[in-house]
Amino acid sequence: MLNLISGVTDMDAGSITLDDEVVTNLPNYARARRGVARTFQHPRLLKRCDIQANLFLGIDLANRKKQISGHTAPKLEELLEAAGLRFDLDDSITTLSYGQQKLFEIVRALLTNPKVLLLDEPAAGLNTKEMERVDALIAIAVKNNAAVLLVEHSMDLIMNICHTITVLNFGRKIAEGVPSEIQSNDAVIEAYLGRGRSA
């Protein structure tokens, strides 16, 4: 679904609308310029470049959008502090650990000042402290009026930050609601926690 919304994968049917504009047939870079930002389950960074060049991808897009909308992106310093990232801009991006790279990718996406932020399993492979930092970065996105669509298996993260949760089981929606409703939903318990003869 994130690939369809961001334009990575072409659609067979249906349409995608952003701010009353149908963007279904626009290439992914055009969607990005209109405010769709995303991360990937495994970070997609410019491995042969330094940290500064990787940051400029987000900053450059924000500058292009600012010329159109007048809005400014969140400050880099605020984002790096929330992510707990400290580095020299000249360092290779590969000097960052896997968890740092995932946080860095969220920072870069937020630098674009997105209208829609698509996060693909941002907590996968992270420790507890890094997950808290993901939470803090999402809070900044929400504060800046971004709609956040999160695909995640970490129930702690989901229950702590999501306003509305949709639960899929083998690609079929089995529940939707606020966290308290999802936690007590029989279909969710059956699918993800198990219940039956061995219970």
Do 17 and 46 sit in the same domain of this protein? yes
Do 195 and 114 sit in the same domain of this protein? no
In the chain, count of helices (H) and strands (E)?
9, 7
Do 147 and 116 sit in the same domain of this protein? yes
Of 6-10, 42-46, 183-187, 190-194, least confident by mean pLDDT is 190-194
Residues 176, 188: Cα–Cα separation, whole Å: 10
Residues 16, 90: Cα–Cα separation, whole Å: 39
Find, among 137, 187, 184, 178, the residue nearest to 159 by Cα: 178
Do 95 and 13 sit in the same domain of this protein? yes
Whether the pLDDT of residue 159 is over 80: the answer is: yes
| 3-59: pLDDT as tens digits | 999 999 999 999 999 999 999 999 999 999 999 999 999 999 999 999 999 988 888
Do 49 and 97 sit in the same domain of this protein? yes
pTM assigned to the model: 0.86
The predicted structure's pLDDT at residue 194:
67
Domain that holds residue 168: 163-199
Do 149 and 174 sit in the same domain of this protein? no
Whether the pLDDT of residue 138 is over 50: the answer is: yes
Do 151 and 167 sit in the same domain of this protein? no
Residues with Cβ < 8 Å from 190, sequence gap 6 or more? none
* Whole-number Cα distances in Å, 83 to 3, 130, 139, 156, 182: 25, 8, 12, 18, 29
Do 151 and 171 sit in the same domain of this protein? no
* Domains held by the chain: number: 2
Whether the pLDDT of residue 197 is over 60: the answer is: no
The predicted structure's pLDDT at residue 73:
59
CATH of the domain at 150: 3.40.50.300
189 burial (CB, 10 Å; 0-12 / 13-18 / 19+) is: middle
Do 107 and 44 sit in the same domain of this protein? yes
Do 19 and 36 sit in the same domain of this protein? yes
Residue 87 CB-half CA count within 13 A: 22
Do 101 and 130 sit in the same domain of this protein? yes
| 59-112: pLDDT as tens digits | 877 776 664 455 555 788 999 999 999 999 899 999 999 999 999 999 999 999
Do 129 and 89 sit in the same domain of this protein? yes
The predicted structure's pLDDT at residue 66:
61
